[in-house]
């Protein structure tokens, strides 16, 4: 929705004009998939696709939330903020408000309108964008100093407890801490991070959504998380580690005999993916985009064969991408089971790449993929209207 339209809608819904705009980003993840909850390093970047929240204080003891595509106002009474867990829409905001309050931030009544340009269920973290933008808006209205890393942690808690997804910290961290034209090398065990320029020379990243209908992603995600916990417990019987990511590929080889079946496969993905993250960051830093592309492909194959979170749509989309001249690598991003791929494509070849992959994907799958024009931006913005 255009800003003008959103401002008009705000006035229609709340009878007064909006005064502020808070935004938080969706994200891609260059590499490091399904390792954040295993203490690994991830390498995400914040996008121009974002959750825009228009707001103003209302002087009452209520937080009102509405969405541009629902046009219905949901009231969250501040005194009863813990009672909205089962809301169909508004539960993310209620969860963030609840945990903010628990962390000592006073809640101040306000009217908020959400206009999210991150496609839902796309693997680009629309939920993190909603959570983080809410955390920023409520903290700003509380008039307290805030730390964006803490807001990311509060947002993650809301996702874990209110949305029932046992996710790691990657998405909320990227949404809150993203920096224009940089990816964030984030150590999920310590939350230490480093911004690395995402400079790809004559190449760029193309984001494509396979458009597979969203189906039980949350429960399948939680199953994977359980499987790696089983692996960790087994290995801890013989080795003193706190997280799977602490194992090198060699060390994992020495203890692999303790694991079997899917548990062994899941753990192997985690350990090898962690190694790929370090290699990929080193390749990017020395400008070796060919090697970066190869590692993206390896990551996809591991997510397909060992972690088993791809599915025929993501496999098709990424393999069609790989066949295109000018494409150095392609992989699924996010939780998987649907959602998006990223591909590294020569800038001069992007148009043909999209045209060919779009057609071939439709021919193979029977419905179309979507391709997004993306750029890497700051995670959070706050402005007066
Ligand atoms: C989802 C989760 C993240 C992360 C990715 C997989 O996006 O929210 O915490 O686990 O899946 O890398």
For residue range 308-364, what is the model confidence (pLDDT) as tens digits?
999 999 999 999 999 999 999 999 999 999 999 999 999 999 999 999 999 999 999
Sheet with 182-187, edge to edge strand ranges: 41-42, 182-187, 193-197
Residue 164: what pLDDT?
Answer: 87
170 CB under 6 A from ligand 1?
Answer: yes
309 CB under 6 A from ligand 1?
Answer: no
The number of the ligand 1 atom at minimal distance from the alpha carbon of 37 is: 10
Residue 217: what pLDDT?
Answer: 83
Q: Known catalytic residue: 378?
A: no
Candidate list 20, 36, 171, 378, residue with the active-site label:
171
CA of 184 to the centre of ligand 1 (A): 15
pLDDT class for 213, splitting at 50, 70, 90?
confident
For residue range 49-75, what is the model confidence (pLDDT) as tens digits?
999 999 999 999 999 999 999 878 999
Measure CA of the first residue to CA of the last residue in the chain; give whole Å. Answer: 16
Nearest protein Cα to ligand 1, atom 8: 167
Residue 293: what pLDDT?
Answer: 98
Residue 215: what pLDDT?
Answer: 74
The number of the ligand 1 atom at minimal distance from the alpha carbon of 33 is: 12
Q: What is the mean pLDDT of residues 282-289?
A: 98
Give ∠ CA 67-92-47 in degrees, rounded to 5.
Answer: 70
33 CB under 6 A from ligand 1?
Answer: yes
pLDDT class for 206, splitting at 50, 70, 90?
very high
At a CB cut-off of 8 Å and minimum separation 6, what does 351 contact?
none
36 CB under 6 A from ligand 1?
Answer: yes
CA of 335 to the centre of ligand 1 (A): 5
pLDDT class for 163, splitting at 50, 70, 90?
confident
For residue range 233-285, what is the model confidence (pLDDT) as tens digits?
999 999 999 999 999 999 999 999 999 999 999 999 999 999 999 999 999 99
Nearest protein Cα to ligand 1, atom 11: 335
Give ∠ CA 346-335-381 in degrees, rounded to 5.
Answer: 70
171 CB under 6 A from ligand 1?
Answer: yes
pLDDT class for 82, splitting at 50, 70, 90?
very high
Residue 214: what pLDDT?
Answer: 74
273 CB under 6 A from ligand 1?
Answer: no
CA of 6 to the centre of ligand 1 (A): 30
């Amino acid at each position: 929705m255009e800003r003008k339209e959103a401002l008009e809608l705000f006035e229609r819904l709340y009878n007064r004009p909006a005064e502020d705009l808070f935004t938080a980003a969706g994200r891609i993840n260059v590499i490091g998939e399904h390792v954040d909850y295993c203490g690994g390093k991830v390498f995400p970047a914040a996008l121009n696709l974002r959750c825009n929240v228009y707001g103003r204080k209302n002087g009452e003891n209520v937080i009102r939330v509405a969405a541009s595509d629902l046009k219905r106002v949901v009231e969250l009474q501040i005194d009863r903020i813990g009672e909205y867990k089962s809301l169909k829409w508004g539960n993310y905001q209620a969860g963030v408000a609840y945990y903010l309050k628990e962390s000592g931030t006073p809640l101040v009544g306000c009217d908020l309108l959400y206009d999210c340009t991150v496609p839902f269920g796309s693997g680009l973290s629309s939920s993190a964008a909603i959570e983080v933008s809410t955390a920023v808006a409520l903290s700003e209205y509380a008039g307290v100093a805030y730390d964006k890393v803490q807001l990311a942690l509060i947002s993650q808690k809301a996702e874990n407890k209110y949305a029932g997804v046992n996710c790691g910290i990657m998405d909320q961290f990227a949404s809150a801490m993203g920096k224009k034209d940089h990816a964030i090398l984030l150590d999920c065990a310590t939350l230490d991070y480093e911004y690395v320029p995402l400079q790809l020379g004559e190449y760029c990243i193309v984001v494509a959504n396979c458009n597979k209908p969203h189906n039980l992603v949350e429960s399948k995600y939680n199953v994977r998380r359980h499987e790696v916990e089983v692996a960790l417990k087994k290995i801890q019987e013989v080795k003193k580690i706190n997280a799977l990511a602490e194992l090198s590929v060699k060390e994992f080889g020495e203890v692999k005999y303790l694991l079997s079946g899917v548990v062994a496969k899941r753990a192997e993905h985690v350990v090898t993916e962690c190694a790929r993250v370090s290699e990929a960051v080193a390749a990017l830093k020395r400008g070796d985009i060919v090697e970066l592309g190869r590692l993206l492909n390896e990551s996809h194959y591991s997510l397909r064969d060992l972690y088993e979170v791809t599915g025929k749509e993501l496999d098709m989309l990424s393999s069609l991408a790989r066949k295109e001249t000018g494409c150095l690598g392609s992989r699924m991003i996010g939780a998987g089971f649907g959602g998006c791929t990223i591909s590294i494509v020569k800038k001069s070849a992007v148009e043909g790449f999209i045209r060919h992959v779009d057609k071939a994907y439709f021919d193979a799958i029977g419905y179309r993929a979507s391709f997004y024009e993306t750029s890497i931006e700051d995670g959070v913005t706050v402005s007066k209207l």
